[in-house]
Structure 1
């Protein structure tokens, strides 16, 4: 059994550092920073001093920073110990920039992070490079029973080569938002839809009935999504591939597709986002732009993440939007908390992670607009959010409110609609699929985005030619070339 107290993967440190210098895109990342060799006395002193430093991306829910509030709750519970105090460091920029900053900081020792909040796609890369510690193996007992409360598909994102390197913090999954007001005007019956799983054929049929055929960006369309050349395009592509039965890698990150399979996936994607169905602006849209197009009536259907449910409460009237599971396969998103390999406060860091991913904390995350990682959060009898955290949060949608909403707070849809949304979200998470699991994910997603975006932008797209070129590029990527 791997001993969690030692620093794993040090034999790979030289190669990892060289790779990180190429990837980090941050000038300070490979200079060695202020880090250096640490002796036992230095590590002991750092552990006694604290604080436990948590590095994370920005909170996108607009909920009053639930992550910060959870850190403050931990600090209140450990007010008598300076060494047990925790500090949240929020990294600026998008996911790619955050990944580069974390890689550079951990490989060079320029920042002393104890806990890192990693996108689920980064776990294999950081584990393979020896930058995060595997968790202790608990075969039985209360800790193991507690771990089983995590949704199975979500917990699987923490595992690499048979070991778990993190605990699920907040998760994500693609959902289908729609405009019942616009569908009703077209005599499309939507009463049964909240209890049914939409299919793509049903969505296409509704779009045809609506008679929408947009040519310009300001014209209404059947649906919209995120097809800009960034991670949103990768997610949409993987969802289309999964619906077509195309798997790019096995569980160990080995490429398992070919040009013929890729053509099937690209054809499915082109059919899904074909002209006349999708909003023309989708080709340059990210989460914010697609949400705006939907809220302002330029799309009847929208593929988006769970936090959009709360965001729409501040943009639309309660009866003007609803949500369902995404037709076909939906991709998992989210972040996992891991202890860094060089942290001198590993035991305290693990205790903090256990608190941040507890049943009460996960309920706080759900109330704030994130998707919780625990199955119990979606049940009828669950633990409540920590009272002082709940009181500090700005209401997300119509989440339970411990304090009066301030000016500009979302209107929300009421308790019954929110309960239906939570059931929908929980069901979607249990059937979601992962993006490829590979230490080379950063290179993979850039290659996929480049090839797919060029295909979508082409006047006469040739999926056979595109599939051949993509196949060759992916073989190199997944081989680490």
Structure 2
């Protein structure tokens, strides 16, 4: 069990500590709001002035590249707060994959070795960090304008910030599984437009197209029907939960209590095995992450691809606009993304909350969407959306990407998909987000995903998969994991 889990298991002690902190505030007659417990967060803290700057934001690496949109939004905040040193912000990007970043953040916040004021957390980590007392609840809306602003966040996306009846973060960028496909390769295989993906597509529809592709005499030897991310990492967990949810299998309730059974798990595993059938999927998918699967798709080695929204922008640099398109994933799609939370011991909590509000504002969310992330606000997907901050938009424009260069086909400028295609993409993405499902909400998510990945990857890579045995073993271990044992 990780140190954070051990700390989380001592819930009463943590709550007692918060109560003592509240009493201490009263005895000291401190007028500033205490932020140690649920509902305790308030407006800008006068102590921020004494603490000084900068406001330190810890985040994983930006998939939009160095100098990406997250850093540009921080720079925009700094421009708007020029001349106020205590309100300047600094972005610290943590190396490594999601699991490594989680471990770094847990270690830093528990030990106090790094003075982070804001942390950009994967949505699955919110219960763990909240239970461990490492992040503070966000203040409730005090005005009608603030309440309306909160309602602009997509309902299912905002639900990822909640734990134990309180919101501990604000949605920054979101994610959802999507189905990408190659119209050019479908045409080459003789598959008509009437048999291409729609919002009503099922996995059986996809399998039928994959079968037709396999029979095409022009199919290259290394071309498979579809690919995804089945390497032993978090991408495998996302794919597994999508298969489970499509089969009607839910592993936990909203309070993080296990609700599965060996029989249900077998049903979900059989659904996943169907998707991973070696006659359908590219064999390399068993070792693929997002980068590898996107590369195979762009290279024509897979005709269909399950991937995240940022792939839509990334493909601009790899394929022509007529060579790729996207639709909703058949069955259920998993929600992903990151939320911004203020650390529990931040001496700059007031300014940190103001920064979080700025980074998740409508204009900032428009910047995230323009850069390839999925925005968390419903308003961003409307034609009347507020545009990205001008300074950020200019910084994100690719080299040679001025309107004049685009009109003349300037060197290095990817050919854009048309406005109609981009609007269709926005509608598809919005609809997918509004129907997405969450991975289990539990303070023990790190242990859960490790156990799930281990059993599932072993099942997918064996020559004689026994879903019944795997289900029984997984059921036994998950009961312990969700109980914190």
Q: Is the contact made by 1:64 and 1:394 (CA closer than 8 Å) also made in structure 2? A: no
Q: Relative to 1, partners in 2 of residues 1:194 and 1:418: Cα closer, same or farther, differing over 3 Å?
A: farther
1:340 equivalent in structure 2: 343
* Distance (Å, rounded) in 1 between the aligned partners of 2:317 and 2:149: 36
* Distance (Å, rounded) in 1 between the aligned partners of 2:402 and 2:144: 35
Unaligned runs of 5+ in 1: 1-7, 16-42
The answer to whether structure 1 residue 261 and structure 2 residue 264 are counterparts is yes
1:359 equivalent in structure 2: 362
Q: Relative to 1, partners in 2 of residues 1:297 and 1:52: Cα closer, same or farther, differing over 3 Å?
A: same
Q: Is the contact made by 1:13 and 1:129 (CA closer than 8 Å) also made in structure 2? A: no
SS class of match (2:264): helix
The answer to whether structure 1 residue 87 and structure 2 residue 90 are counterparts is yes
1:61 equivalent in structure 2: 64
Q: Is the contact made by 2:48 and 2:349 (CA closer than 8 Å) also made in structure 1? A: no
2:179 equivalent in structure 1: 176
1:464 equivalent in structure 2: 468
SS class of match (2:193): coil
Partner residue of 1:190 out of 190, 193, 199: 193
* Distance (Å, rounded) in 1 between the aligned partners of 2:398 and 2:381: 18
Unaligned runs of 5+ in 2: 1-9, 18-45
Q: Greater CA deviation, 68-77 or 122-131?
A: 68-77
Consecutive aligned runs of 4 or more in structure 1 exceeding 6 Å deviation: 400-403
TM-score by length of 2: 0.87
SS class of match (1:372): coil
Cα displacement (A) at 1:10? 9.5
Q: Is the contact made by 2:52 and 2:348 (CA closer than 8 Å) also made in structure 1? A: no
Partner residue of 2:423 out of 416, 419, 438: 419
* Distance (Å, rounded) in 2 between the aligned partners of 1:109 and 1:178: 47
Q: Relative to 1, partners in 2 of residues 1:51 and 1:325: Cα closer, same or farther, differing over 3 Å?
A: same
* Distance (Å, rounded) in 2 between the aligned partners of 1:126 and 1:292: 34
Partner residue of 1:157 out of 157, 160, 166: 160
The RMSD of aligned alpha carbons is 2.5
1:479 equivalent in structure 2: 483
Cα displacement (A) at 1:140? 5.2
1:3 equivalent in structure 2: none
Q: Greater CA deviation, 198-207 or 440-449?
A: 198-207
The answer to whether structure 1 residue 12 and structure 2 residue 14 are counterparts is yes
Cα displacement (A) at 1:112? 0.4
The answer to whether structure 1 residue 444 and structure 2 residue 431 are counterparts is no
2:432 equivalent in structure 1: 428
SS class of match (1:318): coil
Q: Relative to 1, partners in 2 of residues 1:401 and 1:91: Cα closer, same or farther, differing over 3 Å?
A: farther
SS class of match (2:317): coil
2:278 equivalent in structure 1: 275
Q: Is the contact made by 1:63 and 1:393 (CA closer than 8 Å) also made in structure 2? A: no
Cα displacement (A) at 1:144? 1.1
Q: Relative to 1, partners in 2 of residues 1:211 and 1:112: Cα closer, same or farther, differing over 3 Å?
A: same
Q: Is the contact made by 2:455 and 2:474 (CA closer than 8 Å) also made in structure 1? A: yes
Partner residue of 2:169 out of 143, 166, 170: 166
SS class of match (2:424): helix
SS class of match (1:313): helix
Cα displacement (A) at 1:186? 1.9
The answer to whether structure 1 residue 75 and structure 2 residue 78 are counterparts is yes
Deviations 1:431-453 (A, max 9, x none): 00000000000010010000000
Q: Is the contact made by 1:116 and 1:339 (CA closer than 8 Å) also made in structure 2? A: yes
1:142 equivalent in structure 2: 145
Deviations 1:125-158 (A, max 9, x none): 0000000000112275111110000000000000
Q: Is the contact made by 1:134 and 1:163 (CA closer than 8 Å) also made in structure 2? A: yes
SS class of match (2:322): helix
Deviations 1:343-398 (A, max 9, x none): 011110000000000000000000000000000000121100001110000359xx
Q: Is the contact made by 1:210 and 1:222 (CA closer than 8 Å) also made in structure 2? A: yes
Q: Greater CA deviation, 403-412 or 54-63?
A: 403-412
Q: Relative to 1, partners in 2 of residues 1:63 and 1:176: Cα closer, same or farther, differing over 3 Å?
A: farther
Q: Is the contact made by 1:63 and 1:395 (CA closer than 8 Å) also made in structure 2? A: no
SS class of match (2:300): coil
